[in-house]
Every structure is written in structure tokens, then in C-alpha cells.
Amino acid sequence: MKDMQLHHAPAIISHHVISYLSVIVIMLFLSISWQSFGQDKRPLANNLGIQSPLYLQKKAYKLVWSSHPGASLYKQEYLTAGDAFPNYKSMITIDFVITGSTVDDAVRVKVQELEQLKKTLDVNYEVIGNAATGEKIIDCLIGQTAADDSKSVYERDVYRFKAVKAKSGQKGILLYAASVRQYGKDIKPFLMKLKTEKSVLLNEVAKLSLPEINISK
């Protein structure tokens, strides 16, 4: 892992307990399986107030799924025209958690999740820090090879973590995630191309202006 050095009873709850609870919230925020997406059929809602479409690598992504599973948690997923779950080719995910925890806390939890995935999947990742902004990126490749090759899947994810204050006033951690996938016979050329073009998506995600969060009250 590479780190470039970013780097009454309720009334008497300690700072350590509050920090612990914040980390638990982050764990719920990040612990979605790499294959879970757009699972429920609840009405689509732009809870984060993000203007759509989002653009990445000259492609337009529109909001297709959203979730607000808890008072502090928000998730939104975006696909390009013609793409669809479950076998999408590329996706942008915007997650926001209202918390007093740090970027380092969020990254630590995500790394723990990736380490757990190594028990059943092919997982490789790198953590990259930006000392100037306090942000961190996890660049990872996750794969699953099946006996039926058509069911094999490899996914490259670039997760960018940033501590932000929403326009609506809430402070927390914003996670911008770019995901690209290939299946079956298309996996091999996908991995070969990744060897020479790995930095392209990474650099674009690192440099793009992150969307402003504006939660409706």
C-alpha cells in the first residue's frame, strides 16, 4: 500500500465514543459489496442536490439510483445512456456521510474491506495521498473468475475521498468513485490495456472538480 503522506449519561459521552460511533457510520457507508448496486426499486431522488449529468472521460452520466438508508448516509449512482444494471460497463458513485471522522478513518475502513475481499476475490489496490489537499485515492482492481467464463468479471475502481462542508451546511466525507468493468472474453484485453493506460482514469479522477453537495432539509 502506497501512501504519499497526505496526511443523565448521554451528556457525558466521551470524545472517544463519539469517534468510534463516527467510524461505525463510515463502515456502513463503505461496506457495500463490490457487486451490490441499484438493488431496490425505491423512487429516484437527488438527495445530494447534485446537478446532472456528470462528465468523466468525455462521457455523460445521469442519475439512475439513489439511497438514503440512514440520517447520515447518502448514496447516488450514475450510468451512461444505454448502460444498465447489473452488467454495466462504467459507473460513477457519489457517497456522502455526515461525520466528524477523517479521510484517514474512511480510507482505513475501505482498506479493511478490500483485505476481507481478498479471501474470495482477486484484489489489488494502492493508496495515494495528496498532502496539499488532504485527500486520498484508492486505486483498485477486483476480479472474480468463474468456471463459466461468461460469468467472470473484473472491475477497476478509483475511489477519491475528501472532507467537505456541504452547501447546506453539513460536514462529512465525500466519496467519488469511478468504476469500469469487463466480462468474460473481454477481460483479457481490458487488463492488457490497463497496463499501459492505468494513469489516464486515475489522473482524471484526481483532477476533476467534485460536485457540490446541497442536501434538502
Instruction: Supply the pTM of this predicted model.
Output: 0.84
Under DSSP, is residue 216 helix (H, G, I), strand (E, B) or coil? coil
Query: What's the mean per-residue pLDDT of the chain?
Result: 84
The three-point CA angle 208-210-213 to 5° equals: 170
pLDDT at 216: 79
Structural element, H or E, at residue 164: strand 153-165
Helices (H) and strands (E) in the chain, counts: 3, 8
pLDDT at 9: 30
* β-strands 59-70, 54-56 pairing: antiparallel
| pLDDT, tens digit, 9 for 90 and up, residues 149-198 | 989 999 999 999 999 999 999 999 999 999 999 999 999 999 999 999 99
| pLDDT, tens digit, 9 for 90 and up, residues 102-140 | 999 999 999 999 999 999 999 999 999 999 999 999 999
Lowest mean pLDDT among 28-32, 44-48, 51-55: 28-32
Looking at residue 137, what DSSP letter applies? E
CA 52 from chain center: how many Å?
18
